[in-house]
Each structure stands twice: as C-alpha cells, then as structure tokens.
Amino acid sequence: MIDIKFLRENPDAVKENIKKKFQDEKLPLVDKVIELDKQLRAAQLKADTLRGDRNRLSKEIGGLMAKGQKDEAEKVKAQVKEFSDELARLEVSETELGEQVKSIMMTIPNIIAPDVPIGKDDTENVEIKRYGEPVVPDFEIPYHSEIMESFNGIDLDSARKVAGNGFYYLMGDIARLHSAVISYARDFMIDRGFTYCVPPFMIRGGVVTGVMSFAEMDAMMYKIEGEDLYLIGTSEHSMIGKFIDTIINEDELPYTLTSYSPCFRKEKGAHGIEERGVYRIHQFEKQEMIVVCKPEDSAEWFTKLWQNTVDLFRSMDIPVRTIECCSGDLADLKVKSYDVEAWSPRQKKYFEVGSCSNLGDAQARRLKIRIKSKEKGNYYAHTLNNTVVAPPRMLIAFLENNLNADGSVNIPVVLRPYMGGKEKIEVKAK
C-alpha cells in the first residue's frame, strides 16, 4: 500500500505505474480516492473544529451556573448537544470515508523499482544470469514421480484416497532426503547469520491482508471455518506478521530470520502436464528467509537474499538461473522480484524453485511496522522475503540432476551428514 500523501501529490506518477503493470482498469481509482480523501480530510477538520467549540462551551456552563445565569447555561447546553449530535454524524462519515479510502488504497499497486523490465506477464520476464553448466545425460530421465517410485519413496494413490488430488505420502529414502534438504537449508542460513524460527502455521485475517493483496489471498489461502484464522501459504506471512504494530529502534536493524513451516495453498486453476506429481500441490514444506531493514538498505539485502538461494542450489550440484520478474508479473505489493529457476535435464529447460521479493514499505505500512529514529522520527521499515528451499518441488531438480544411468541418485557431499553418511540411494527391488 503506497502512502496516500504520495498519491495525493503525485497522481500522474501513480497512474503511470498502474499503466506499467497493465492494470488500466484501476486508473479511475486514483481520482476517486483523491476525492474521497479530500472529503475525509474536510470531515476530519470540521470534526476537530466542533470538538474544540464543544469543549470550550462545556467549560462555560459551569461558570454561568455559578453566576446564577441558568437560562444562559441551558442555551449553551443545547448548543453543546447540537454540536455533539453533529459530531456523531461526522464521526460516522469519517469512518465510512476512511474505510473506502483504505479499501481503494489496498488495491492500487505499489510503485515498482525504476529498473524493473516492462512486460505484460511471465512470458516477458528477463533472464539475468546462469550458474553452473546445464547437462542433458545420454540416458532417458523418467518423470520425477517415477524416479521416486523406483525407491518406494512416494504413494500418490493412497494420498488421493485420504485427502484428494494435490497431496502425497513420501517414504523411505525420499522422505529422508526431503528432511535432509530442509535441515541442510536451515543450517546453511544459520551459518550466514540468520536467526532460526518456527512460526505459527495459522494467522488472523488482519495479518493476511497486511502481507498480501486480495487477489493473492483469494487464490492461495485456506480459511478455518468459523474462526478468524487462515492456514499460511508460506512462513513469510507469519514472520512479517510477527512485527505487527511495533516500533523498532533503528540500531536493532536489520532483523534477519530464517523460518521453517508447512505451507498450504489452494493452487486454483488448471495446470500443465509438467505439474503432475509433486510439482504443484496443496501442502508442502519450506525454509524461508525474511529481512526487516531500513529503506536505504533494502536493495542491498535483496541481492544478498537471492544469492543465498543460488549458492545453496549450487552447493548441491544443481544448475540454476535468475530471472527478473517484469512489471506485469509482479504482485501488487512488490517493488522488485527475482525468481530462481533450477535446470531440469528431463524437460531441457529451467523451472521455478524460489522467489525473492522486495516489498518496500507496503507490508510495513499495512501492519504498522515502524522504525524509531532520533533524527528522522518514526518511519516505516522495508520488508523482504525469499525462498531458501521448498521441497518436495526442489526434489525434482535434485533427483534429475543427480540421477545415474542405473537409476541410483548421488548424494552431494553437503547432504551426506543428514543422510547417515550415504553417498547414493539405490533403486529398490520390486
């Protein structure tokens, strides 16, 4: 959510930003919210004047009564009541106008960074850099669920009976590999100075609307029936929510946190053939990183965050590339975003395994996360988030890139301590 003062003073810049995001249907909202804001401020000014007049007159009543001027006192009382009645009507109007302004402001997209490439959708995202050499072996690589089945490592049929499509049972070496990757990612981030955290896996509606747009909320979040609680789609939701309505001393920043959680997502819409198996699912686990920092430091932290993910995947011998999301592919709260994509030897292309986002002060403004400064007073923090690793999807890249011709899978050196020293996992005899 952008600053209403900025919008008021720079309506053309806000409209130009909306055009860059190809959301022209939102252009009339700028003029509408300016008019509503004008009405709101007029109502607030009138209400403040009435309160002052009412308080002044209220003080006169006692003096008039003391002087025995009862009739004059009654006239003043009547005037005070008239002011109070009008003030009550104004306060209702203030509330209604305030809610309308807030509702519109929460749908106007954040101002994107000036260097974000302009494009309509993810087909116009821009490749930034590749890390590691993509390899296509001289043997056929099976579909990822078939690789897992060769180790007796997955049971989709039973999961379908128990929970429906989009769920899975991981077993044996595959389940252990899943946990090993999460544990390694946790320690990897701790070694880089991040504080480990396990957050709540449910959050209140006020936190949901503070961390994401209404469109994202509708497409992603599962609501707990009868309660003001939602299952998180990523631990970023809980982790940013941790700072709701706080004032942080400037010298305490930055906060750098890495968090583990299960994640739950509706995943609305139809998906292609490469999204069978465990590629797009309703439940998965994830190691996340988030940063709360001063505005002048957020660009530097953005680079550090996506680099962490690149370094993690390269330490497991998985080639990756970074992609900058174009303007039309950015969620409304985001200032700038990179995707990290891993190489798929089977598909002979890259696919997304992580997303790094700088949200500027959008989340902080919604959740009232402020920084206390002696020189500047209180001002809003910047928030960032990035995927460290999200199995089981990343297991697709891991298995394909470490698969041998005999069906076994190599375990990179960094993961062996988490796999009981195993150097590879072997196909199970049927």
Whether pLDDT at 373 is above 50? yes
The angle at the Cα of 129, spanning 124 to 134, to the nearest 5 degrees, equals 100
b/e per residue 357-389 (b: at least 16 CB within 10 A) = bbbbbbbbbbbebbbeeeeeeeebbbbbbbbbb
Two tokens, residue 108: 């106007």
The arithmetic mean of pLDDT across residues 165-193, rounded, is 96
CA distances from 214 to 105, 106, 221, 237, 395 (A): 12, 8, 10, 14, 31
Look at the chain and count its residues.
430
Closest CA to 101 of 172, 30, 168, 149: 30
Distance separating alpha carbons of residues 379 and 250, to the nearest angstrom: 10
Q: In the chain, where does the domain assigned CATH 1.10.287.40 lie?
A: 4-105
Distance separating alpha carbons of residues 31 and 123, to the nearest angstrom: 32
Question: For the domain with range 122-425, which CATH number is right: 3.40.50.2300, 3.30.230.10, 3.30.930.10, 3.20.20.70?
Answer: 3.30.930.10
Q: Which of 280-284, 341-345, 376-380 is least confident?
A: 280-284
Question: What is the pLDDT at residue 273?
Answer: 38
Whether pLDDT at 272 is above 50? no
SS (H, E, C) the chain: CCCHHHHHHCHHHHHHHHHHCCCHHHHHHHHHHHHHHHHHHHHHHHHHHHHHHHHHHHHHHHHHHHCCCHHHHHHHHHHHHHHHHHHHHHHHHHHHHHHHHHHHHCCCCCCCCCCCCCCCCHHHCEEEEEECCCCCCCCCCCCHHHHHHHCCCEEHHHHHHHHCCCCCEECHHHHHHHHHHHHHHHHHHHHCCCEEECCCCEECHHHHHHHCCHHHHHHHCEECCCCCCEECCCHHHHHHHCCCCEEEEHHHCCEEEEEEEEEECCCCCCCCHHHCCCCCCCEEEEEEEEEEECHHHHHHHHHHHHHHHHHHHHHCCCCEEEEECCHHHCCCCCCEEEEEEEEECCCCEEEEEEEEEECCCHHHHHHCEEEEECCCEEEECEEEEEEEECCCHHHHHHHHHCECCCCCEECCHHHHHHHCCCCEECCCCC
Q: In the chain, where does the domain assigned CATH 3.30.930.10 lie?
A: 122-425
Question: For the domain with range 4-105, which CATH number is right: 1.10.287.40, 1.20.140.10, 3.40.50.1000, 1.10.287.1080?
Answer: 1.10.287.40
Higher pLDDT, 184 or 83: 184
- Chain segment 113-153, per-residue pLDDT in tens: 999 999 999 999 999 999 999 999 999 999 999 999 999 99
Higher pLDDT, 270 or 200: 200
The arithmetic mean of pLDDT across residues 161-184, rounded, is 94
b/e per residue 88-118 (b: at least 16 CB within 10 A) = eebeebbeebeebbeebbbebbbbbbeebee
Whether pLDDT at 82 is above 90? no
Q: By percentage, how much of the chain surpasses pLDDT 90? A: 80
SS (H, E, C) 258-269: EEEEEEECCCCC
Say if residues 322 and 342 touch (Cβ distance below 8 Å): no
Angle between helix 393-401 and 172-191 (nearest 10):
100
Distance separating alpha carbons of residues 193 and 175, to the nearest angstrom: 28
- Chain segment 224-249, per-residue pLDDT in tens: 999 999 999 999 999 999 999 999 99
